[in-house]
Chains A and B, each alone.
Chain A
Amino acid sequence: MPDEPYEPERAIAGTGMGGQMDLAASEAVTLEKMPRGPDGTERPAGRPRSLWSDAWHDLRRNPVFILSGLVILFLVVISLWPSLIASGNPLQCDLAKAQEGSQAGHPFGFNGQGCDVYTRTVYGARTSVAVGVCATLGVAVLGSVLGGLAGFFGGVWDALLSRVTDVFFAIPVVLGGLVLLSVVTSNSIWPVIGFMVLLGWPQISRIARGSVITAKQNDYVQAARALGASNSRMLLRHIAPNAVAPVIVVATIALGTYIALEATLSYLGVGLKPPSVSWGIDISAASPYIRNAPHALLWPSGALALTVLAFIMLGDAVRDALDPKLR
């Protein structure tokens, strides 16, 4: 950055995603000398602001974050209590009304089976949110534990884990889903979630490994080691809090892609199957009637796209807030 004055904050942050953790530590130390926040505003004297409160400070003012946060909040609420805005039953269909368009009480019209598209679209949110959240939690926990331990201990396990992640990266995801899920006859969301965790953890473990290796080399970790801290104390108290941010960012964006993946698998007929209510199933069922009843395809597609968009935008906003290099 040639035209900007030298700032220690930025110089430290320049080491990338792992680097901003040093920033948090250095800020705490140099607070007296630098009473300015990253946005240049006066900082109230007193307690030093951590990376997280800094990020929160930024996020509250970010319209993208507020907008996507509201969309996600709305999705979570209607997936917990869909009857709040949809009074009908998603499984109650009347073949006589098949493919009919919008009418009073049924704003989105009816699909090929004569089910109310509005009710099904509202109820479909539950499946998507549940699959997305559960798969992301599973992937994040498994990935960061495996990746974090490999990064911390290094050696043979690290080498082995790196080769295993290479193997998983070489298998196309949709293909793996088709092969594994085509045998599953159970109609719950758990096989889909299990598959996503099985094929998704290497993505997180690679990130977690990298950020643990960066955090491990910090002086305060060396100091803790010199003071005789045990491995578990170093990992949990010193390294984990400073290595978790990149994992959170990647996991938020991944949540959106898992929702899209569930819909894709359901579209291919191996994810959830009817009578489950899922946007993927509805889109798949509507595609043969695309000429006569495009609305049955467009509404669930729109809901799906909006949901994925909200999560990706939230992830983008969180990354911008946590990575001072981009400010």
Chain B
Amino acid sequence: MGRYVLRRLLQMIPVFVGATLLIFLMVNVMGDPIAGLCGDRRCDPATAAQLRAEFGLDKPVWQQYLTYMGNVFTGDFGTAFNGQPVTELMGSAFPVTIRLTIVAILFEIVIGITLGVVTGLRRGRPVDTTVLLVTLVVISVPTFVTGLLLQLLLGVEWGWIKPSVSPEAGFGELIVPGLVLASVSLAYVTRLTRTSIAENKRSDYVRTAIAKGLPRHRVVTRHLLRNSLIPVVTFIGTDVGALMGGAIVTERIFNIHGVGYQLYQGILRQNTQTVVGFVTVLVLVFLVANLLVDLLYAVLDPRIRYA
């Protein structure tokens, strides 16, 4: 187990370096970071040159990258456009987005898996067809449309929720945005669970369990569900990173001041440090989530042993 984790951690290094380098290069194409510092006017050449030297922007890109990564590993993510350290922005933004992601994942687990089990056990019945059709529609409607429609209906027409979330963004306010963020993945989780359950329902061990005279709920929860959830856990795990990165659209609709909002501001103001810093953390979250999913396999499926 220990050796497996170590090997996986070592494998993460090239992916981490590659992804951050890629985003670093992309941001460098993004335009002149100095132009953003002088506001709407053009910088005068002497100031620009001085700023360039100060931030090390006159050096080649690979050298900038090394310096930046060196700083990151000592906990220095640079400063944002308003002079605030990027770490401070992260401190205020990440808790909000993490709360939003938790709400979304809970929706995926509770609603997605429940619907998947119900439809998988009743394959071909009206409830199955209905749910399948609904998931297809949910997958087809882009998140920003779902978000705007729910905001229109629940927030404006019926007044059940406030159309925009307060800066504190407590769990209560994040229920609807979390549902919007989860919507597409929720539909995928439902379909994945349904297929998996329907496939395993016919397997020998389930028949044995029924033949032994076990009560139905025990067969479903202990025997069927545990084996069917492996692909679902993989999906939800990899989705954690995707949700945090994809929250940018949801956060914009509901005016949530989370990671997506800060990133959007950073991109608009061409602030390299903010963008690269946040993306670096998001990439790390994605990689760690994937590692945890692989380790969870061993818990869910005792046949898998990591030497």
Contacts and interface: CB of A to CB of B under 8 A. Distances in A.
Query: SS class of chain A's interface: helix, strand, loop or mixed?
Result: helix
Among B142, B270, B275, B279, max chain A CB count under 10 A is at: B142
Among A168, A173, A179, A283, max chain B CB count under 10 A is at: A179
Interface string B239-253: 001101110110011
Contacts of B148: 283, 287, 290, 297, 301
B298 interface: no
B11 to A, nearest CB: 9
A64 to B, nearest CB: 10
Contacts, number: 128
Contacts of A200: none
Given A167-B18, A172-B242, A304 B142 contact: yes
B19 A170 contact: yes
Interface stretch (B27-35, B55-63, B220-228): B27-35
Contact of B144 (A168, A180, A283, A308): A283
How many chain B residues sit at the interface, stated as a range, is 35 or more
B248 to A, nearest CB: 6
Contacts of B241: 170, 172
B97 interface: no
A260 B148 CA distance: 15
A178 B248 contact: yes
Given A172-B282, A174-B248, A164 B18 contact: yes
Given A167-B15, A175-B279, A267 B267 contact: no
A248 B100 CA distance: 36
A2 B202 contact: yes
Interface of B: 14-16, 18-19, 22-23, 26-27, 29-31, 136-137, 139-145, 148-149, 151-152, 156, 202, 204, 207, 241-242, 244-246, 248-249, 252-253, 263-264, 267-268, 270, 275, 279, 282-283, 286-287
A313 B267 CA distance: 36
Contact of A312 (B19, B26, B140): B140
Contacts of B139: 312
Interface of A: 1-3, 163-164, 166-168, 170-176, 178-180, 182-183, 256, 260, 263-264, 267-268, 283, 287, 290-291, 294, 297, 301, 304-306, 308-309, 312-313, 316
Contact of B142 (A3, A290, A308): A308
Query: SS class of chain B's interface: helix, strand, loop or mixed?
Result: helix
Nearest to B21: A167
A305 B15 contact: no
Nearest to B27: A179
A283 B145 contact: yes
A249 B128 CA distance: 24
B279 A308 contact: no
A164 B22 CA distance: 10
B207 A267 contact: no
Contact of A290 (B156, B202, B252, B267): B156
B287 A170 contact: yes
Contact of A268 (B19, B145, B252): B252
A290 to B, nearest CB: 5
Contacts of A3: 202
Given A175-B248, A175-B263, A2 B140 contact: no
Given A175-B279, A287-B148, 5 more contacts: A2-B204, A170-B19, A179-B279, A263-B144, A268-B252
Contacts of A291: 152, 156
A172 B267 CA distance: 15
Contacts of A304: 141-142, 145
A175 B18 contact: no
B275 A166 contact: no
Contacts of A260: 140, 142
A182 B248 contact: no
Nearest to B148: A287
Nearest to A309: B140
A304 B27 CA distance: 30
A1 B26 CA distance: 50
A279 B127 CA distance: 33
A267 B202 contact: no
B280 to A, nearest CB: 11
A170 B21 CA distance: 12
A309 B137 contact: yes
Contact of A178 (B16, B142, B264, B282): B264
Nearest to B278: A175
A297 B149 CA distance: 9
Contact of A2 (B23, B27, B207): B207
Contacts of A316: 136
Q: Identify the 4 closest CB pairs spanning chains A and B, nearest first.
A: A172-B245, A167-B18, A309-B140, A170-B19
B26 A180 contact: yes
20 contacts: A163-B15, A163-B18, A164-B18, A166-B15, A170-B286, A171-B23, A172-B286, A174-B245, A175-B248, A175-B263, A179-B27, A260-B142, A263-B142, A264-B142, A264-B144, A283-B145, A297-B148, A301-B145, A308-B142, A313-B136
B14 A163 contact: yes
B31 A183 contact: yes
A313 B136 CA distance: 8
Contact of B249 (A174, A290, A312): A174
Among B23, B143, B202, B283, max chain A CB count under 10 A is at: B23
Given A170-B15, A171-B283, A256 B248 contact: no
